[in-house]
A and B are shown apart, each in its own frame.
Chain A
Amino acid sequence: MELAKNLQTTINKSHGKTDLYVDLAQSISGILLVGFLWMHMLFVSTVVINPALFDTLSIGLDKYYLAQFGIPGTVLLIIVHIFLAGRRAPLRLRDLRIAWRLTRMMNHYDTWVWAGQVITALMIGIMASMHLWTIMTSWPLRAATSAARVASVGPADHSFGGFEFPFFIVFYVIFLIVGEYHAGFGLYRIFVKWGWFERHKMGWLLKGITVIIIALGFTALYTFTQIAANLPAGGAIH
């Protein structure tokens, strides 16, 4: 505050209304993305009930142009959210050092959770891009193609000494946990900031929902591996 007092800020003063809109937009973009992710996981989980239902849903989304508009829209929303929420992350080395030292020293639960949010945000940035690329290049989405992708082992080119590793299942297990963590605690933080609900009860409720959705995701992944096992030639696509 010492320094801030001496800075000449008349010409580049922070404008209250802009700060308000940016803050509101950050919360709204977060809520929309949590809504998207939870709905996404519910849609994917339809494969557990019946692969045909999964296909019907996918065909429906394409038919009514929901996927064609929804995917670019969601990508745009993610980019906006990166800029809005990224403002809060300690990006300078000095800030990063202070944040890390203080987090470790205080050992305060919610501050640790936030450190996790920053880390998962970085992971989502990379993993969501990869996920998007793989689904877009094997469009349209069907239970069989998704199953083949989830169960595929790599590398495809065995001239690498023939080692095999189930990259995709590992990728999706990590992506699922990381994504749901970020969404669940992100929503928690929005509610904390606006104070609509009692903090601790709401925290437990959101943890419960997150665990349920992760469990649903695991079940769906397992179902996909089962479907893949019944596909001709293990359903290998490379």
Chain B
Amino acid sequence: MRQLTFSIFRFNPNIPGDKPRMQEYKLEEQDGMSMFVALTKIREELDPTLMFDFVCRAAICGSCAMLINGRPRLACKTLAKNMPSRITMMPLPVFKLIGDLCVDTGTWFKDLQIKTEAWVHTNKKFDPKALEEKMDNEVAEKIYEPDRCVECGCCVAACITANIRDDFIGATGINRVARFMLDPRDERSDADYFDVVGNEEGTFGCVGLMGCDDLCPMEIPLQENLAYVRRKMAAAGLKLQFQGVKVS
């Protein structure tokens, strides 16, 4: 088995005087070793001060996203056998650094959910005793596709626009809106959606660099979903114009 060299970003902004630096660790590669396993081994055997996030170890929670050899990836889904023997690890850009490889994606995503109003808007009164309404399987599957997003933040980190502009909602944000557009339970009108995402901060801010589409760990078809929202919002905007409806 190979000897792996890990060059890991170290910096704790909470320690006064601490400076960003790269620190090296050496490990023997193991069968089926993921980056998450390697990091755990480093923390247990070499350096208990190393900070990194994880919860599920199975690409469900999206906590362990980081830059591995420069690319945003999930540490639990990245296998050592697919990597060269020298591996660099850095925290995701854009998000607030907590320390070492830990970033706070939660606050960013909370802001996003509020900004995009990421919940089903309906005037129907919920009756807890009534039988749940059936949804067409085809529709459910369509909604499920963008809904697979684990909010790891890889698409945001991989996007030059999101890195440069702090008001851009990124692929995950536009994808989120696509999910509600597909959902027949959401009663929002085109004008409502246009208000939320039909602007430079949303769908018209995308430059089309496709870092999101190529690097999404969940392999969500982001290009299709982003283009879907763009086309829908362009059509909605033009329609509203001809109808003389004022939008924002």
> Which of A's residues lie within 8 Å of B, judged by CB?
1-5, 13-17, 19-20, 22-24, 88, 90, 95, 98-99, 102-111, 114, 189-190, 192-196, 199
Contact = CB atoms under 8 A, between A and B. Distances in A.
24 contacts: A1-B112, A4-B201, A16-B194, A16-B195, A17-B198, A17-B240, A17-B241, A17-B248, A19-B198, A20-B198, A20-B233, A20-B237, A23-B204, A23-B234, A88-B161, A98-B164, A107-B71, A110-B210, A111-B160, A190-B208, A192-B227, A195-B223, A195-B231, A196-B227
A16 B240 CA distance: 11
Contacts of A16: 194-195, 198-199, 237, 247-248
Contacts of A88: 161, 207
Given A5-B111, A14-B201, A195-B227, A111 B70 contact: no
Given A106-B71, A192-B223, A17 B247 contact: yes
A32 to B, nearest CB: 18
Contacts of B70: 104-107
A24 B234 contact: yes
B8 to A, nearest CB: 15
Contacts of A2: 96, 107, 111, 166
Q: Which 10 pairs between the two chains have the least Cβ-Cβ distance?
A: A195-B227, A105-B70, A4-B167, A20-B237, A193-B208, A23-B204, A110-B210, A16-B198, A16-B199, A19-B204
B93 to A, nearest CB: 7
A16 B209 CA distance: 22
| Interface hub of B167, B224, B228, B233 (most chain A Cβ within 10 A) | B167
Contact of B166 (A3, A24, A110): A3
| Interface hub of A22, A103, A199 (most chain B Cβ within 10 A) | A199
Given A16-B247, A90-B160, A98-B160, A195 B204 contact: no
A95 B233 contact: no
A196 to B, nearest CB: 8
Interface of B: 67, 70-72, 93, 96, 107-108, 111-112, 115, 158, 160-161, 163-164, 166-167, 194-195, 198-201, 204-211, 213-215, 223-224, 226-228, 230-231, 233-234, 237-238, 240-241, 247-248
A194 B93 CA distance: 27
A1 B202 CA distance: 13
| Interface hub of A15, A95, A99, A193 (most chain B Cβ within 10 A) | A193
Nearest to B241: A17
B100 to A, nearest CB: 18
Contacts of B210: 110-111, 192, 199
A143 B170 CA distance: 51
Given A106-B211, A111-B211, A14 B200 contact: yes
A31 to B, nearest CB: 14
A106 B160 CA distance: 11
Given A1-B111, A19-B200, A195 B160 contact: no
A17 B243 CA distance: 13
A194 B235 CA distance: 12
B166 A4 contact: yes
Nearest to A103: B160
Contact of A90 (B72, B164, B238): B164
B200 A108 contact: no
A105 B158 CA distance: 10
B207 A108 contact: no
Given A16-B247, A199-B223, A108 B198 contact: no
A104 B208 CA distance: 18
